[in-house]
Amino acid sequence: MTVSISSGVKSITALRRGLDVLLAIQQSSAVTLAELHRQTGWPKASLLRILKTLQETGWVERNAAEARYMPTPSAGETGRGVAARARLSALSAPARAALQRRVPWPTDLAVRDGSAMLILDAHRPINGLAVNYRVLGFRPRMLLSSLGRCHLAFCPDDERKSILATLARSPDPLDRAALRPQAIQRMVANARSQGYATRDPSPASFDSPERFAAIAVPVRHEGQVIASLSCAWLPTVRSEREIVAEHLGDLQAAARAIEGRVKPAGGMELR
C-alpha cells in the first residue's frame, strides 16, 4: 500500500536544516564550525544548536584536539562496536608508538566499517619527514585504499564475497567502477604472496589522502582480520621497493604485537 504525502502538509524547516548540516559534515569528512558557517551561511548560534542535537543523538562527534565535527561511524549501532574499537585502539597504542619511532611516515590503524574502512586514529611522525596527510574522519574506500584492499585480501572468502556484493549495489560510481573481478583476484593473490597490500594505482585528486602511496598489513584474531595497519609516503621521495625494504618488517612486527595484546583480552566484535 502506498501512502501519498499531502501537498498541504508543511515540512519541518529545523529538521531540513539539521539534515543539510549532517550532509555537509558527511561530504567534508571533518569540518569546523567556521567552515560550516561559510558553507551554509547560517548563524553560528543556530549551527551550534544543530550540532549539539546531532551529537546528543549519536550522528556526529567532535574531535576536541582539532575542533572538527565528523560523522559518527555506523550511526545508530549498539555500544558494543564502539567499545570494541576503543579497546582495540587502546591495546594497539604501545605497539603503534614503538612503530612510529622507527618509521618516519604516517601510520594508520583502520577497521572495516560496512563496505568501507574506518581509521581509528592517526599517528604522525615524531622524527624525520612528515606529510600533509589529514585522515581525521576519513573513511578509506575498500577497493582503492591500501587499508581496504588489505582487509579484502586477507579476510575469509565468504566475508570478501559479502563485501563485494554490497559494493556492487553501492550508489557511488567509484565503488562500482572498481569492481573488476579479474583485477580483484590478482590483487588478492599478489597481497597474499607479498604479505602486504598496496593502494589502487589509479590517479587520485590532489586533496585526497589516497593520493599517497601506501602499503598495509593485516592484524588478525581467531582467523578474522580485525584491522589493517598501513604506512603512507610520498612516492616522489621513496619507491615502494624502498619502503618495503625499510619498513615492511616494522609494520608486520607491530601487527603481531597488537595481535599478542588482543588475544588475552578476548574477542573483538568490531562490526
Query: For residue 96, is it within any domain?
Result: yes
**pLDDT tens, position by position, 6-53:** 556 777 888 888 888 888 887 666 788 998 999 888 999 999 999 999
**pLDDT tens, position by position, 41-61:** 899 999 999 999 988 887 887
Query: For residue 271, is it within any domain?
Result: no
Mean pLDDT of 252-262: 96
Domain match, 51 and 105 both: no
User: pLDDT value at position 113?
Assistant: 85
Domain containing 186 equals 79-265
Mean pLDDT of 72-101: 78
Domain match, 61 and 160 both: no
- pLDDT at residue 79 above 60? no
Confidence category of residue 87, pLDDT binned at 50, 70, 90? confident
Query: For residue 43, is it within any domain?
Result: yes
User: pLDDT value at position 265?
Assistant: 55
User: pLDDT value at position 104?
Assistant: 92
**pLDDT tens, position by position, 119-139:** 886 555 554 444 444 444 567
Mean pLDDT of 154-165: 94
Query: For residue 104, is it within any domain?
Result: yes
Last residue of a domain, one of 25, 43, 71: 71
Query: For residue 2, is it within any domain?
Result: no
Mean pLDDT of 151-164: 95
Query: For residue 8, is it within any domain?
Result: no
User: pLDDT value at position 114?
Assistant: 84
Query: For residue 1, is it within any domain?
Result: no
User: pLDDT value at position 247?
Assistant: 97
Q: Which of 65-69, 133-137, 216-220, 265-269 has the lowest mean pLDDT?
A: 133-137
Confidence category of residue 3, pLDDT binned at 50, 70, 90? very low
Question: Reduced to 3 states, what is the DSSP secondary structure of residue 184?
Answer: helix
User: pLDDT value at position 216?
Assistant: 98
CB 98 within 8 A of CB 123: no
Domain match, 101 and 139 both: yes
Domain match, 114 and 239 both: yes
Strands 60-63 and 68-71: antiparallel
Domain match, 53 and 93 both: no
Alpha-carbon distance of 219 to 62, in angstroms, equals 28
Domain match, 132 and 253 both: yes
Spatial CA neighbour of 121 closest among 246, 230, 34:
230
Domain match, 53 and 132 both: no
- pLDDT at residue 223 above 70? yes
Domain match, 210 and 98 both: yes
- pLDDT at residue 77 above 70? no
Domain match, 63 and 86 both: no
Mean pLDDT of 92-103: 93
Instruction: State CA 126 to chain mean position distance.
Output: 22
Domain match, 64 and 93 both: no
User: pLDDT value at position 110?
Assistant: 92
Domain match, 90 and 66 both: no
Alpha helices in 64-210 (DSSP H): 79-102, 146-154, 157-168, 173-177, 181-194
Number of domains present in the structure of the chain:
2
Domain match, 20 and 114 both: no
**pLDDT tens, position by position, 137-154:** 567 889 989 999 999 999
User: pLDDT value at position 6?
Assistant: 53
Instruction: State CA 155 to chain mean position distance.
Output: 17
Last residue of a domain, one of 71, 97, 114: 71
- Average pLDDT of the chain, as a whole number: 82
Last residue of a domain, one of 71, 90, 110: 71
User: What CATH number is given to the structural domain containing 43?
Assistant: 1.10.10.10
Query: For residue 42, is it within any domain?
Result: yes
- pLDDT at residue 236 above 50? yes
Query: Treating both helix axes as pointing N-terminal to C-terminal, what angle do 146-154 and 181-194 enclose, rounded to 10 degrees?
Result: 80
Mean pLDDT of 162-178: 80
